Structure 1
Amino acid sequence: MDGRHRNNLAAGTKVQIVLKADQKSGALTAGIVKDILTNSAFHPHGIKVRLESGQVGRVKAIE
């Protein structure tokens, strides 16, 4: 599924995100969505979320 559309995400969804510090390398971090931080329905770089671990990043893949 596409991580650029907000309606594909909900709390509890398993996702792969890219952290701000990892944007150049593109390294992905796996986790479970706690909060959706982007208010718009679409974002070209991925919807920004907070994981249950507290990490914040943009969704690149939905598992």
Structure 2
Amino acid sequence: MNGQNRADIYPGLEVDIILKKDQRSGKLTRGIVKDLLTSASFHSRGIKVRLEDGQVGRVAEIIEDDF
């Protein structure tokens, strides 16, 4: 699932984000969402979030829980 819709993203969710410094390479960083920083309901490049470890980036992928 992509991270373009704000409604799909919430604190505690595991996601892969692209950090600003990694935009050219497309390197993903995995972490847990702490805060949502984009106020719009949709963003074409991904909703901007802050991870629990303090890193900020745009959500590239939502990690699906396998229950």
TM-score (norm 2): 0.93
**Counterpart in the other structure of 1:11:** 11
Determine the C-alpha separation between the residues in 2 that align with 1:5 and 1:11: 14
SS across alignment from 1:2: coil
Mind listing any 5+ residue stretches in structure 1 that lack a counterpart? none
For structure 2, the residue ranges without an aligned partner over 5 or more in a row are none
Give the % identical residues: 59
1:30-55: CA deviation from partner (whole Å, max 9, x where unpaired): 00000000000000000000000000
RMSD over equivalenced CA pairs, Å: 0.4
Task: Report which of the two structures shows the higher radius of gyration computed on alpha carbons.
Answer: 2
- Post-superposition Cα deviations, 1:5-56, rounded to whole Å, max 9, x if no partner, equal 0000000000000000000000000000000000000000000000000000
Provide the TM-score with structure 1 as the length reference.
0.98
Instruction: Give matches, 1:39-58, under 5 Å.
Output: 39-58=39-58
Q: Secondary structure of the equivalent of 2:49?
A: strand
What displacement does 1:58 show? Answer: 0.1
Aligned pairs, number: 63
Letter in 2 for 1:13: L
Runs of 4+ deviating beyond 2 Å: none
d(CA) in 1 for partners of 2:2, 2:55: 20
| Whole-angstrom CA distance in 2 between matches of 1:54 and 1:36 | 12
